[in-house]
Amino acid sequence: ELAAAFDLARLSKAPARFDETQLRYWQKEAVLSASSAELVDWFNQSAEGQQQAADWSAQRLQGLVDVVRDNIEMPADISAWMCRLSTDALIIDAQEGTVIQAAGEAFFREALVQMEANHEGFKAFAKAVGQAASVKGKHLFMPLRIALTGVAHGPEMARVWGWLGQDCCRARLQSALNYCVDGAQAHAETV
């Protein structure tokens, strides 16, 4: 039936068009529709995965993929998030550093105080920090996001909070405080 309706004269003669935006859109859709196990296999077969994944169990890698799924387009993205979210070190660039410094010492001191209260998840923690430091909106969430992930945009913070755990979150907040106190390069790795 399909073959009967096919007509070579109706095929376009226009050259193929390369549209990176469209390719990225479909790549993102493919990643979002894949299961976590499929994404882990895809990563492990990539050049990035073959370089990095040996130190990671399949379960740990799948956990990371679940955290950063919305921020993955290519295997290199998984690799970058592995580096960002697998250490207590705060890794930031100069632009993110200015946000950390603008938030100031008092903000991060209060965040560290609130860490001791063992809040039930990131939302409760952020709310407590906001109330204690008298900040809200982007002045609350942006410094916390950068202190915990090293970047201004990324995965949902509740998932990052759970992935990092209390000790790592505390260490990163302490690094952000030290960054404010001692200067940009003293306590954070820069990209």
Co-location of 81 and 168 in the same domain: no
SS (H, E, C) 132-164: HHCCCCHHHHHHHHHHHHCCCCCCCHHHHHHHH
pLDDT score for 51: 83
**Secondary structure of residue 102 in the 3-state scheme:** helix
Q: What CATH number does residue 122 fall under?
A: 1.10.10.350
How would residue 185 be classed by pLDDT, with cut points 50, 70 and 90? Answer: low
pLDDT score for 118: 83
- Asked if residue 54 is part of any domain, the answer here is yes
> Read out DSSP for 24-36?
HHHHHHHHHHS-H
Read off the pLDDT of each residue in 107-134 and give the average, rounded to a whole number. 95
**For residues 47 and 40, is the Cβ–Cβ distance under 8 A?**
no
- Asked if residue 31 is part of any domain, the answer here is yes
Question: Using CA atoms, how far apart are residues 156 and 171, in angstroms rounded to an integer?
Answer: 20
User: Average pLDDT, whole number, for the chain?
Assistant: 90
Instruction: Name the pTM for this structure.
Output: 0.83
In 3D, which of 154, 149, 155, 138 has the Cα closest to residue 102?
A: 138
Greater model confidence, 135 or 18 = 135
Among the candidates 42, 60, 85, a domain finishes at: 85
Number of separate domains in the chain = 2
pLDDT score for 63: 94
Give Cα 180 distance to the centre of its chain.
Answer: 22
Neighbours of 67 (CB within 10 A): 21
In what helix (H) or strand (E) does residue 2 lie, and over which residues does it extend?
helix 2-5
Say if residue 68's pLDDT is above 70: yes
DSSP character at residue 15: P
Orientation of helix 94-115 relative to helix 157-182, angle to 10°: 100
Question: Using CA atoms, how far apart are residues 140 and 41, in angstroms rounded to an integer?
Answer: 37
Question: Using CA atoms, how far apart are residues 125 and 189, in angstroms rounded to an integer?
Answer: 25
pLDDT score for 6: 85
**For residues 67 and 155, is the Cβ–Cβ distance under 8 A?**
yes
Say if residue 20's pLDDT is above 80: yes
Co-location of 72 and 138 in the same domain: no
How would residue 189 be classed by pLDDT, with cut points 50, 70 and 90? Answer: low
Angle at the Cα of 146 from the Cα atoms of 141 and 149, rounded to 5 degrees: 115
How would residue 184 be classed by pLDDT, with cut points 50, 70 and 90? Answer: low
Co-location of 124 and 179 in the same domain: yes
Co-location of 100 and 79 in the same domain: no
Domain containing residue 119: 91-190
